Structure formats: structure tokens, C-alpha cells
Structure 1
Amino acid sequence: MALADIGQQITLDVIMSAVFGIEDEAGATAAESAVRASMIRLLQLSTHPLATAVQLVNARSPEPRGVLRMILRPLDRAIYAVIAERRREGADGADGAGRSDILTVLMAARDDDGAPLPDSEIRDELLTLVLAGHETTSNSVAWTFERLTRNPGVYRRSVEAARSGDEAYIEALINESMRSRPVVPVVARELLSDWRFGPYVVERGVIALVSILLLHHREDLYPRPFAFDPERFLGVKPSPQKLMPFGGGTRRCLGAALAMAELRAVVTQILVRVDLAMTDAPAEQPRHRNVTMIPAHGGLVTALAKD
């Protein structure tokens, strides 16, 4: 089975609960279910070989056009339908109809003139939160077990840690997974002033790309950088300048704490509940989806029957 698919189901449930207040898919309205189905379809289509071409066509357009606009249309309809449902409930009032999800907060927000946010802006915020808030986490789960099933000693140690409640080792395991296979391999920053980098001077206004993947494999920072060794993080607080799976600086991922909480819970429960077969298959190659680096086969694992 592909752990990316399982991870996606779990993390999508979490983010749909936080963003839309949908605690149980069985209790979701038709519009809320349509948001979930359209989101999954969008992610599946984003791995199609033509997806990169579609993105390039839209690279300089402030609004989606062409094929991308057509693909997004069902998702937009579903999101606007959910917003309309909530307005009928009175979720845009001061009490938010008793709800505490992010959609309710956005609908109750007012600008400096006291006007509510337009539906289009609420849609943009919701789409960003849902996409950024679950896909990276689900693929981190997949990469973690892609690495573990190729490192039997680390896998056995991880199972022992999960079943004995050794949270420090699980944290180290997740950090090592994100170091070895960062889901977002590169970040970009527009320089607001001239910047000296060694013998080079880069002028303001330039957009500089920083490779998180290469940073995480510098031998002077991480001895034996291609070894999968969670113990390098035991008893060590990772430096934000050396370990950057969530980016860095003032634009570091706002959802980092939520992502880490999800990863600890999901990885621990898989280790506790399921025995996995080890494999001598080659490492899964990375496949790019939008700005993320995902396992080419979704983090394939084989579950064994419990004794």
C-alpha cells in the first residue's frame, strides 16, 4: 500500500476539521463533501505529466486560466457553496453560530472600514490553508516509512520507541526523515538589499533560491549525510539555520507546530499498530508536485499479519 494515500486521508481529515469544522465526514453536508472530493482530485491531477506545463502557462497570471481554471471550477463551486451555507446559519455574525473553525473566523472578520471579507478572498485563504496544511504532512509520513523500511536497525529501534513511549526518539526520527527527504526542497526569497555570499554580491530585487535539500546534505553540518540516522538528533535541539524543513526566517511555515503534532501522532500509531516488511528495493525517486517533493510510488510498504 502507498502510505502517501493513507497519510493524505488522515491529514485531510485534520485540516478539514480545523478549517471547516468538519469533525466527521459522515456528518458533512453535500457541499463540504464536495470540497474534500474536489481537493483530492486536484492533488491527483497535479502529478500528471502535463501539470508542469499548466503551471507554467499560469506562472505570470494573477488569476487561473485555461486548463487550470477548468480544473479549479468544481472546487471553487464547492467552497462557495459551503460559505453560502454558513451565511445562512449566521456564521458571519459575532458569535459565529457557535463555531470556532477558521472559516467562521474569516467570515466574522471585518476590515478597517467594518466591511466583511469578500467571498473570493475567503476562498483564497481557505484553499491555501487546506493545500498547505495537509499535503506536506502526508508526504512526510510516506518518506519516513520509505526510509524506515530500507533501514531495518532504525526500524526496530523506532518500533521499540513507539511502543515504550520514547517520544524523544520519535521526534529525532521525524527530524531525520525531514532532513533526509525534505518535502519542500527549495525556498525563494526576494532580496530587499544587496547581499554578499562569499565572494559574490547579489543585488537587491533578485529572487534567490535556497536549496533545503543541499543544505541538509552538507557533510560539514551532518557527518555521513546520506546515512539515515535519527540518533544524530537525540539530545540535540536542531538549529533553525541547519534544519529547515519548514523554511526559515519570518516566513517560516505557520503550520509547523500542527504538522509536527500530526507527524508524531501518525508515525507513532503506525509503528505501534502495524508490522512492516523490510525491502532491498532501490530508494523511491523523488517526484515533484507543485513545490513539493513526493515519493515516486507514494511510499510503498508491505504490512505483515500480526502474530
Structure 2
Amino acid sequence: MDYEQNHDHYLIPYLEGENIESLNSELRCAIYYYFGYYYYDKSQFDQCLEHFYKVKSFVNNLEIKASVIYNISIIHKRMGHYQDAILTTKEAIEYLKKIDNTYLLTLSLNSLGDLYREKKLNKEATVALESAKQIAEQYSHVAPLGYIFHNLGLISMEKSNFEDASSYFYKALHIKQKNTNSDVLITYRLLIDCKLKEEDIEEAAKLYKIASELTDTKDDQNVLLFHFIDYFYINNELVLFEKNLNQLALFFEGKKSYDYLTRCYKKLAKYYYNTRKYKRSSYFYNKTLELLERSF
């Protein structure tokens, strides 16, 4: 029997008519915590937050409170509520410092750095990430270092410092592959971007070949190809560049992947303009504007 059946046939009937607020704090905490994760799993984030905030309001155990506040910050981030996410992450950090939970503190500082980066506050982001890096190295929290180096690479990349960005991404890959091997494709894609910006096409091709062997789905294959697409342009393989880019646009249109679709349209518009196919260029510039004006 899966958890949905347990939820529907046992837990809900058991709690029916029960005044949860009258229960002891340990049981209330367990119930609200469970419902928080239940709604998170269903991507019903408003209900998730409602239950996690209830836990936060009455729980006295600092370890649990810090963990709940950290989870609240992650949910706010998922919802795009970056300011709320920053505030709750800072709150979690203060509790984590009191209980000396260095692992979760490392994760929280990394998350704070990433949130600052999203808000284009790169100075604040770097401070938070360097703090996370220092604690992770001091206490041998190896796995979080992969994410920390990845985020430091993103900041360098946004500054167009592709050499430093590549260095961080290589470090992130080394750690991710040695430990969990999770999210490696994201780092490979950005590293390929950097190498193409540096016009190191041999290294970009090498990385693309390695990353291709790690893709399990058509989505992963096409997203990876998008990040590699400029290889054909730089290598003057314009027929392949145009053909693949048009195919990618059709794929992302079908998947309603509007971020990548917009980026495809921009590349096609620029390509056709540079090759003096102004009618086609105008068509894709208009398509780009249509997407940018839509609310998804």
C-alpha cells in the first residue's frame, strides 16, 4: 500500500473530528510536519507553507525550528518569492549558528548566496558563498562544495570572467561525480557555455561528448545540444547550426519550454540578420517579442 492510500484510508479518517490544536506539542509537530511535506510533494506550496509556519510558531526544539525555517526558505525560493526566501534563510542561519549544525548551516549559506545572485547582488552572494565554502572545508562537508563551486562559477560567468567560471565548474564536477553524481549535467552545460565563449571548441566538443553519455531523456539531450549549438557556428558549420537550431526551436515549442524557446528565437533572429536574411530575422525577432510579452 503506497503512502497515498495510507493518507486517504488511515491518517485522514483518524484525524477527522480531532482538534489538532488540543494535542500535545510533539504530536502536533509531527502532524503539521507531515502535511507540510505531503503538500510539498504535490507542489501545493501555499498549503505546504501554511503547515510549516504552524510548526515554526510553536515548536521549541531549536534543531527542528531551524530545519523548518530552512525548508520554508526553500519553498519561498521555489515560488519565486526571493525576498521572503532571503529573510527566512537568514533567520535559519541564526538558529543554526546557535545549535552548531555546520552541515545545514553550509547549505543555508549556499542557498543565501544563490538567492542574492538571483537578485543580481553579486557582492553579497560571493560573501555568503565564501562563508559556506570555508565552513564546508573546515568540517569536511564535501557534497555541498559541489553546489558552492557551481554557484561561484555562475557569478564569475555573469561577470564574463569565463576562465574563473570554468575553474569553479571543473571543481564542482569533480566533487559531484566523486560523491552523489547529482546535477552534473547542469554543470556540464554551463562549462560548455564557458568554453565556447573562450572559443576553446576542442574542449567544448570533448565535454559535450562526455555529457551526452550521461543524458537519459530527449529533454536532456536537446537542452545539452542547445548549450553546444554555438560550436557549429564558431566552427563555420552553418548548415548544421541552422538546421539544429530550428529543430530545437520546434522541440522546445512542443514542450512549452519557453525559456529555451525564447533563446532559440533570439539566436535564429541574430543568425538570419548576420546572414542578411532580413525577412527571416524579422520573423524570429517578432516571435521573441511575442514570447517576452506573454505571461506564463
Higher helix share: 2
Q: What TM-score results when the alignment is normalised by the length of structure 2?
A: 0.22
Higher Rg = 2
